[in-house]
Amino acid sequence: MRGWVMGEFPLSGDDGHPALFLLQVPQRPLEATGCLARLPAGPAATLAERVKAFFAESRPGPAVLVGALPFDPHADDALYQPARLAAPLPASAGAPPALAGGIVAEPSADAYADMVARGLACLGAGEDAPRKLVLARSLAMRATRAVDPRVLAARLGRDPGVVAYVAPLPVGDGEAPAWLVGASPELLVSRRGLVIESHPLAGSARRCADAGEDQRTARSLLDSAKDLDEHRYVVEAIADALAPLCSTLDVPARPSLHATATMWHLGTRITGTLKHPAPSAAALAALLHPTPAVCGTPRAAALAAIQALEPVERGFYAGAVGWTDAAGDGDWYVAIRCARVQGANLRLFAGAGIVAGSRPADEVAETAGKFLAMLNALGIRDEGVSDTQGEGHVAAQRPSLQGLSL
């Protein structure tokens, strides 16, 4: 376990970016500014005890920790006690940042298709081999000036199917502050008293501009054996992890549809009542993360395959963002549909679950669809997707996705 080196977190106003954490959950939106104390960093396995030790000390200020868990459960997390809590001001979305230069796909769409093919080859190859694997790719781009995470979050938050978020990320000495900014449709876990909820998603299809075709896409997703298979692994893993901790656990037998502005997903709303002693929301998040929705199954084999196959480190993408308070309540969302933003640099991430029967070209298309939330927030429109975010027009000088092989 190692503590934060002073200055590696964007915590003060010196650089024009006061510490900002934002989680726009409809029933309980949270905006946290400033930082009173950092939680000593560590892996997921020690999060519950670190959180407990933190709240055991008497401390001035809000009795809450906010922050992010990285994708790799063995890597250091980034949680801190903010100085102030407030309901977020209704942010005006404003203009997207202007981009300088092109978009660099890392890996390229073709290299990603190869990666998926290699991933498919290792599925089920031996007893310990993964049965599901989630493989991700990234798009790197630069804005003409430092990106304001708040503007991006406000633009992302116009979609009622997502929870927009901003979380500060650790950076190296002397580097500009970095943020994870995104719009998650997926609740990892929430806890209020003994009541818990999780809404895992897996199995996806890109939405269509034509209403009839959009409905047909949704219906065929509900009937897709491959997608139901992908989904089942996630629900089983979450239900198996929660069952020993709960006195009641309701797991619907079949998933239902969840819509964002750009994607359809299969989702299962799992609810339960915790037994005493009830683990905190942070402990529950650490227990569940990373689920087969972002990693695969079995977890260790999928994690090893991801680390061997993906050329770009995920960092905090596909981790979790959220808060936990001294009473143990909290909300944790899966950190997807996001970008790492540092100064004028952005790196977007998107991944897709691969099971027997997946096809590389389909996974390229699915990840391209998943990039759209963030690309649209950046003012990059795709003519194939309906303008459900209400912008109404495509500014002529804004880049279009047409012709870009994403």
* Catalytic residue (choose from 8, 31, 49, 186): 186
Is 226 known to be catalytic? no
Nearest to 71 by CA among 331, 390, 295, 270: 295
353 binds ligand ISJ (CB under 6 A): yes
Q: Report the amino acid identity of residue 192.
A: R
Per-residue 3-state assignment (H helix, E strand, C coil) for 257-324: EEECCCEEEEECCEEEEECCCCCCHHHHHHHHCCCCCCCEECHHHHHHHHHHHCCCCCCCCCCEEEEE
Q: Which of 50, 206, 289, 337 binds ligand ISJ (CB under 6 A)?
A: 337
Q: Which of 167, 352, 377, 378 binds ligand ISJ (CB under 6 A)?
A: 352
Q: Look-up: residue for tokens 């981009």? A: 99
Rank residues 7 and 357 by Cβ distance to ligand ISJ and give the closer one: 357
294 binds ligand ISJ (CB under 6 A): yes
- Is the four-CA dihedral 227, 74, 24, 253 of positive or negative sign? positive
Neighbour-count burial of 371, counting CB atoms closer than 10 A to its CB (0-12 exposed, 13-18 middle, 19+ buried): buried
Is 132 known to be catalytic? yes
202 binds ligand ISJ (CB under 6 A): yes
- The region of 2-10, 115-123, 278-286, 345-353 touching ligand ISJ under the rule CB under 6 A is 345-353
Residues in binding contact with ligand ISJ, number by CB under 6 A: 20
Dihedrals phi, psi of 8, to nearest 5 degrees: -90, 5
Size (the chain), residues: 406
Shortest Å distance, C-beta 266 to ligand ISJ: 7
Strand partners, 190: 197, 331
Of residues 370-399, which lie at the interface with ligand ISJ (CB under 6 A)?
Answer: 370
* Catalytic residue (choose from 57, 106, 127, 132): 132
Alpha carbon distances (Å) from 39 to 76, 77, 281, 334, 365 = 11, 9, 15, 20, 39
Instruction: Please state, in angstroms and rounded to a whole number, the distance separating the CA atoms of residues 1 and 80.
Output: 15
Q: Look-up: residue for tokens 């500009």? A: 176
Shortest Å distance, C-beta 397 to ligand ISJ: 29
Q: Which of 93, 105, 134, 274 binds ligand ISJ (CB under 6 A)?
A: 134
Q: Which of 182, 290, 319, 351 binds ligand ISJ (CB under 6 A)?
A: 351
Tell me the per-residue interface mask from 254 to 273 with ligand ISJ, x by CB under 6 A, - otherwise.
-----------x--------
Rank residues 278 and 336 by Cβ distance to ligand ISJ and give the closer one: 336
Applying CB under 6 A, the residues found at the interface with ligand ISJ are 134, 136, 186, 201-204, 230, 265, 293-294, 318, 336-337, 349-353, 370
Catalytic residues: 132, 186
